[in-house]
């Protein structure tokens, strides 16, 4: 139990240090990215579901990539 708490503290510390380092080098974390892209991802998911139902399981190909790392960490 103690090792789990230490591990969580290390992870939180690493995240805090990473945020300060990113800010120092002129980058910021877009904390609203998932709120802003939620509607677009839901649209892609519904289109993918429709395509899956139309083509069946053999030919269904869905490009379901909703997370773009370049938009999560961006230059100030």
Give the number of residues written for the chain: 76
pLDDT at 32 over 90: no
pLDDT of the residue at 9? 97
pLDDT tens-digit map of 13-28:
999 999 999 999 999 8
CB-count exposure of residue 57 (10 Å: 0-12, 13-18, 19+) = exposed
Report the predicted TM-score, pTM, of the whole model to 2 decimal places: 0.56
| Residue percentage of the chain with pLDDT more than 90 | 34
Place of tokens 């790392």: 69
pLDDT of the residue at 67? 76
pLDDT of the residue at 38? 81
5, 31, 36, 53 from 12: Cα distances, Å:
11, 17, 25, 43
């Amino acid at each position: 139990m103690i090792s789990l708490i230490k591990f969580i503290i290390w992870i939180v510390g690493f995240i805090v240090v990473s945020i300060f380092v990113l800010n120092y080098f002129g980058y910021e974390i877009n904390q609203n990215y998932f709120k802003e892209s939620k509607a677009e991802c839901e649209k892609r998911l519904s289109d993918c579901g429709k395509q899956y139902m139309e083509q069946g399981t053999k030919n269904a190909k869905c490009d379901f990539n909703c997370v773009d790392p370049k938009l999560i960490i961006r230059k100030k």
